Structure formats: C-alpha cells, structure tokens
C-alpha cells in the first residue's frame, strides 16, 4: 500500500511539474533589428518578395530595413500632415500601414494618421474635437521602390475624433477576402463618456457611429470605397454598413494569422481593472461599455463591476488579465498591446500569439511580453522571459515579416520624441 501511494505521489508530482512547464514562462531572446527610431508603432513586410521590412514611426515617417540595414532616407514622411503631438504622451500620429494584396503590381499602400480637424467639419467638431483620422491610399514611386510618390494621396475616410486618445488606428487586409479592415476606438476620454460619446450607451454599443468598432471596406470598388456584400449590417437603417464587429474601447493593434484559419486577433485596451485579447468574428459584440474584459461594467462606478450585465449576447475574450491600477499586487500591465501569431521556422512556437503590455506603470518603461496558446477549446496565457538582456522599454507595437517571424517595437520614452527607440526580432 505504501509503495502504491508513493508511486501515485510521484506520478502526481510529475504531472504538476509538466503543468508548470506548460503554463510557465517561454524563454526568448531579442535581436536588435533597428535603433535610432522615434516611437515605432509596427513593422510589416510588403507582399512583393523583396524581403524588406517597413517600420511605422508615430512621428510621421515610414522607415525601411533592407539587407539588415536601416536605410537613411524614409520611405514616406507625412509629419507635416499630422496634428501637433504632445511630447510627453500622445496617442495620435501616423499609426498604421497596410500594403494592397496586389502591391507588387499596382504599388498601392494605405496609411492611418491623425490630422488637424478637417476644415469642413461641423461647428461642434471645430470647437471641441481633437483631430480627424485619415485613412488614405498612396503609392510607391515609379522610379524608386524605396520611396513613396509624394504627389499622390486618395483619401478614403475622414473620421472626426473627440479626444486625443483611444484611436485604435490599425489597418490590415483580410488574407481571404482582400478587404481592408480598420480598428477604431471609442473616441477617447474615460468610461466611453463625454463630448462626442453616446449619452446612454456609449460609442462602443452605438451602431450608428463608427467609433468603437472594427470596420471593413472594399477599396477596389465604389467612390471612395464600397461595402462588402456580406457585411453584417448591410442595408440596415440602424447601423453603419461599414461595421464588421463592435463593442471595443481601444483596439490597440490587430492582425490576421497568416496561417491556420486566418483568425483576426485584436487586443482591446480596457479601463481600470482588466485587459483583454479577442478573436473577432463577423457581427460580434465584444462588450464595451457593457463589460470590461469578461466582467460587467458600469460607467458611473467604473471600479465596481456589477454582478449582472444588461446583455447576454456578448463574446468573451480569449484571454484577460488584471490591470495594475486596481490590482497592484497581482497584475500584468496597464494597457494591452496586440501582436501576431508566430508562423516562423521555430516549431515549438507555431500558432502562438505573441503580444504584450505597454507598461506595468505609467511613466516607467516596464513593458511586458506574453504569448497566448490555444489549448483544447480555450486559450492559455504565458509570460515571456527575455534571457539575453535586462529588457526595459514601453511596448508600443509588434511586427511580422513575410517569413512569419515576429518583432516587438519599443520605446524608452512615453512620448514620440528622442529618436532612441528600438525594433527587436523575437528569436529562440
């Protein structure tokens, strides 16, 4: 009997150790790709086989890494188009880049940037709003593949923005349908409340507003764009036809899995208590401001989290974690930053979603790196342990090249200043 119990305890201990390994930290190294950057937001390879990596800087430029070297001259500079940025902290600027699926033949690419409030805006917007978001089509120079054609810009959308924050600001082409997806935050401020927000439901639940949603448009038809025939609110009198999914607060970085089922991942920055990552499906309601992550939310008492929600038709996040404002002794960060599903050559990482958090504390460059792994019918979240350096920095965004490797864009300052920031490649 004693031997049987000893064998059982040994087996249980082995299972516990296996579980700790499966749910523990992942060891990685960070390889420096480019330095001297200014608030890098993302990095992406064009679909042209060139092997180049394009880095988006919040201050208004797009830089190119070619042959392992950061080129001196930027591919694009739209700094003169941007709203003036606050040096110590700002969420506006040049926020995203997407290449047309047929970029190799047509040279078209798309940018999302924050400009001064448009001249033909209404009186309320001119008096009170922070800026206007531009989603524009541009094209590469006919004489230099490493330069944009500065004489061409076709504006697809202009969206007036109440506050300086919660811009969302990511654009990406769907790998299966070829449509342009755009992430838009709730308009800013806190609790989805105030100037420019729906009084009773907030912008996240207001289908008549593009704020707080992922939208999808067809840039190859219509003037200036078309609506895909299977958009969930097509021909609806009570919703904008562009909306693909809704209920978001600040979807800060989204990406499609370049493999698998091409799932759309969105990291949605929440309020004071929790952070969340979602896999987005057509027509889905992701809860804000009815819920914060997977907890019910009341904008009047944002830290209270009532036991019951007003709606049951909400989609749960795949992972959520404690926000350091409410849970200072048991937390992982303050602002989730979305990343990419790894599809590189390192087998053990296949299918893992690499993402992070801006910092565990405002004013301190203490960003965090994580991975989410599909496990049966759900997802597990793992910490990432950087083994080759004492990693310190704000995690602004991520990137992915055409080989499926993942990059992390970091800054040492909390504003778009300094030109001392680094893009790393995550390697085994």
* In a domain? residue 23: no
Residue 375 has what pLDDT?
Answer: 86
Residue 13 has what pLDDT?
Answer: 37
* In a domain? residue 295: yes
Residue 311 has what pLDDT?
Answer: 79
Residue 376 has what pLDDT?
Answer: 85
Residue 14 has what pLDDT?
Answer: 36
Residue 7 has what pLDDT?
Answer: 40
> Which residues span the domain enclosing 260?
28-427
Cis bond before residue 141 (omega within 30° of 0) = no
Residue 419 has what pLDDT?
Answer: 93
Are 161 and 188 spatial neighbours (Cβ–Cβ below 8 Å)?
A: yes
Give the CATH number for residue 361: 2.120.10.30
Structural domain count, the chain: 1
Instruction: Report the distance separating Cα 214 and Cα 232, nearest Å.
Output: 12
pLDDT by 10s per residue, the chain, length 428: 434 434 433 333 333 333 333 347 999 999 999 999 999 999 999 999 999 999 999 999 999 999 999 999 999 999 999 999 999 999 999 999 999 999 999 999 999 999 999 999 999 999 999 999 999 999 999 999 999 999 999 999 999 999 999 999 999 999 999 999 999 999 999 999 999 999 999 999 999 999 999 999 999 999 999 999 999 999 999 999 999 999 999 999 999 999 999 999 999 999 999 999 999 999 999 999 999 999 999 999 999 999 999 877 999 999 999 999 999 999 999 999 999 999 999 999 999 999 999 999 999 999 999 999 998 889 999 999 999 999 999 999 999 999 999 999 999 998 999 899 999 999 99
Instruction: Report the distance separating Cα 400 and Cα 385, nearest Å.
Output: 20
In terms of Cβ atoms closer than 10 Å to its own Cβ (0-12, 13-18, 19+), residue 153 is middle
**In the block, residue with structure tokens 């523990």:** 24
Which residues have a Cβ under 8 Å from the Cβ of 15 and sit 6 or more positions away? none
* In a domain? residue 10: no
Residue 386 has what pLDDT?
Answer: 98
* In a domain? residue 420: yes
* In a domain? residue 148: yes
To the nearest 10°, the Cα dihedral for 407, 412, 415, 416?
A: -60
Residue 253, phi then psi, degrees to nearest 5: 90, 120
Are 197 and 203 spatial neighbours (Cβ–Cβ below 8 Å)?
A: yes
């Amino acid at each position: 009997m004693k031997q049987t119990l000893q064998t059982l305890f040994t087996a249980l201990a082995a299972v516990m150790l296996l579980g700790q390994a499966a749910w523990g930290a992942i060891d990685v190294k960070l390889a420096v790709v480019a330095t001297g950057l200014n608030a890098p937001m993302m990095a992406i390879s064009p679909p042209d086989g060139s092997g180049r990596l394009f880095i988006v800087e919040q201050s208004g430029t797009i830089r190119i890494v070619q042959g392992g070297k950061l080129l001196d001259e930027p591919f694009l500079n739209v700094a003169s188009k941007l709203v003036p940025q606050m040096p110590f902290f700002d969420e506006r600027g040049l926020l995203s880049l997407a290449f047309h699926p047929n970029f190799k033949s047509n040279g078209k690419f798309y940018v999302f940037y924050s400009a001064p409030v448009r001249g033909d805006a209404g009186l309320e917007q001119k008096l009170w709003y922070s800026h206007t978001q531009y989603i524009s089509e541009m094209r590469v120079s006919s004489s230099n593949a490493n330069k944009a054609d500065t004489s061409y810009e076709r504006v697809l959308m202009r969206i007036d923005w109440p506050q300086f924050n919660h811009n969302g600001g990511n654009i990406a082409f769907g790998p299966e349908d070829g449509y342009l997806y755009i992430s838009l935050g709730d308009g800013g401020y806190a609790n989805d409340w105030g100037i420019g927000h729906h009084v009773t439901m907030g912008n996240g639940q207001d289908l008549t507003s593009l704020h707080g949603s992922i939208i999808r448009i067809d840039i190859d038809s219509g003037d200036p764009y078309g609506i895909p025939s299977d958009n969930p609110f097509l021909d609806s009198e009570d919703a904008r036809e562009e909306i693909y999914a809704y209920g978001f607060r600040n979807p800060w970085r989204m990406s499609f899995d370049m493999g698998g089922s091409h799932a759309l991942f969105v990291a949605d920055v929440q309020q004071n208590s929790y952070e969340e990552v979602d896999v987005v499906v057509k027509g889905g309601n992701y809860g804000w401001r009815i819920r914060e992550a997977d907890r019910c939310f009341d904008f009047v008492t944002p830290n209270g989290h009532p036991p019951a929600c007003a709606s049951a038709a909400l989609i749960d996040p795949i992972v959520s974690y404690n926000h350091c404002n409410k849970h200072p002794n048991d937390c992982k960060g303050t602002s989730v930053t979305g990343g990419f599903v790894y599809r590189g050559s390192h087998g053990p990482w296949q299918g893992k979603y690499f993402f992070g958090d801006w910092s565990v504390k405002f004013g301190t460059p203490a960003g965090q790196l994580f991975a989410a792994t599909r496990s049966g019918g759900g997802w597990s979240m793992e910490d990432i342990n950087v083994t080759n350096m004492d990693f310190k920095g704000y995690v602004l965004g991520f990137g992915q090249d055409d080989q499926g490797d993942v990059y992390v864009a970091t800054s040492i300052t909390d504003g778009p200043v300094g030109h001392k920031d680094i893009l790393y490649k995550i390697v085994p």
